[in-house]
Amino acid sequence: MGYFKDAPKPIIKSEHIERFESKKSLTEKKESKKTSYTKKYFAPSCRFNPNEYLLKDWMALGLSMKQSQSVINFIQRGIHSNKDLEKIYVMPAEVFSLIKDSTFYPQKEKTENKKYEVDTLIKVELLDINLASKEDLIQLKGIGEFYAKQIIKYREELGGFIFIEQLLEVWKMRLETYQMVTPQITLNIHNIEKININTCTIDVLKKHPYLDYYQANSLIKMRMQREKFSEIIEILDSKLINEEEFERISPYLSL
Domains of the chain, first to last: 14-106 (no CATH), 125-186 (1.10.150.280), 195-254 (1.10.150)
Q: What is the pLDDT of residue 117?
A: 45
| Reduced DSSP (H G I as helix, E B as strand, rest coil) percent helix, strand, coil of the chain, to 5 | 55, 5, 40
Q: What is the pLDDT of residue 116?
A: 44
Q: Given this model, what pLDDT does residue 4 score?
A: 47
The whole-angstrom separation of Cα 171 and Cα 43 is 36
pLDDT value at position 207? 94
What whole-number distance in Å separates Cα of residue 126 and Cα of residue 170?
A: 20
pLDDT in tens, the chain (255 residues): 444 445 455 444 455 455 545 555 555 555 555 444 567 888 888 888 888 888 888 888 888 877 888 788 788 777 888 888 887 877 888 888 888 888 888 776 554 454 444 444 445 689 999 999 999 999 999 899 999 999 999 999 999 999 888 999 999 888 889 999 999 998 888 889 999 999 999 999 999 999 999 999 999 999 999 999 999 999 999 999 998 899 899 999 999
d(CA 30, CA 122): 52
Q: Measured between alpha carbons, how far apart are the two ends of the chain, in Å?
A: 52
Per-residue pLDDT at 135 = 94
DSSP character for 143? -
pLDDT the model gives residue 82? 86
- C-alpha Rg value of the chain to the nearest Å: 25
